[in-house]
Amino acid sequence: MTRLFSFRRLAPLFITLVLFAAPSTQAQGGNTERLRALAREFNALNTQIRDNEIPRAEAKERFRGMIQALSREYRAAGGVEYPEKSWCFPLKRYGYRAIGGVRGNGYQFGGYDYFAGNRHTGHPSHDIFIHDKRQEGLDDRTGEPVQVLSMTGGVVVAEEKEWQPGSRLRGGKYLWIFDPATESLVYYAHNRALHVEVGDLVRPGDAIAEVGRTGLNAHKRRSPTHLHLTLLSVAGGLPVARNPYRALSTGRLTD
């Protein structure tokens, strides 16, 4: 009887704790929905910039405001901040030797400007090639698509999944992921398929896409199958290209 009596006395306290905990859980869900809605807004802005449908000054002002808001909402939604030392190599079962060029010399800044959209110049990026002699988007060793992994943590803020041959869009089926912890934007282009949606939270090493051959030039037979990866720093509120070769060459590998 003593144990039963103790439980009855503790029961009201347990119910009270549950009731007080409930609003916190609901607030977390609300924050997640606000983050997803904001990510969709950023996706729309990114598409306008990509297609040169918005004045540069307005684009910069809106971009800066949205990046700040995304950082706040990411943390409010409980987004985890992963340090750069936790970053991983963005292709499953591949390593830095798959990076094109010699010691990363394929990276060419060339006056790159994010706000020039699909008309930008330069190649402030690394192309990471897979073994695909038949150019089918399948790994020669496994006969399967190669998984693209998120290099960083963060939130998916832009995507294109409707690319079709004949389109002038250079990136094909792409993803942009914003990492508030390191104030970075990472671009993954030429994908065969996407595994995530705008607003999704990702961790380093999460499968986000499959390597493909989509995009104006990547679709052509002269182009070996590869992932096109760009890293932009937004520490000052506006995007500046950053060479990720060191991070790629030391990133965690996945089997």
Over residues 110-153, the pLDDT tens digits come to: 889 999 999 999 999 999 999 999 999 999 999 999 999 999 99
How far apart CA 177 and CA 215 sit, in angstroms, is 19
Tens digits of residue pLDDT in 161-188 = 999 998 989 999 999 999 999 999 999 9
Please determine, for residue 24, whether its predicted confidence score (pLDDT) is greater than 70.
no
Residues 151 and 230: their CA atoms lie apart, in Å, by 11
Running DSSP on this structure, what letter comes out for residue 108? B
Summarize pLDDT for 26-84 with one digit per residue, the tens.
335 578 999 999 999 999 999 999 999 999 999 999 999 999 999 999 999 999 999 99
- Residues in Cβ contact with 17 at an 8 Å cutoff, skipping those fewer than 6 apart: none
Summarised one tens digit per residue, pLDDT across range 87-114 is: 999 999 999 999 999 999 999 988 899 9
* CATH class of the 84-250 domain in this structure: mainly beta
How many other C-beta atoms lie within 10 A of the C-beta of residue 42? Answer: 24
Helix axes 56-76, 2-50, angle to 10 degrees: 170
CB contact at 8 A, 223 and 210? no
pLDDT band (50, 70, 90) for residue 1:
very low
Which residues contact residue 163 at a Cβ distance below 8 angstroms, ignoring those fewer than 6 apart? 169, 172, 173, 214, 215
Q: Are 88 and 204 in contact (CB under 8 A)?
A: yes
Tokens of 165: 């041959």
Better pLDDT: 30 or 219:
219
Q: Where are the domains of the chain?
A: 2-76, 84-250
Q: What is the mean pLDDT of the chain?
A: 89
Cα–Cα distance measured from residue 247 to residue 255, given in angstroms and rounded to the nearest whole number: 18
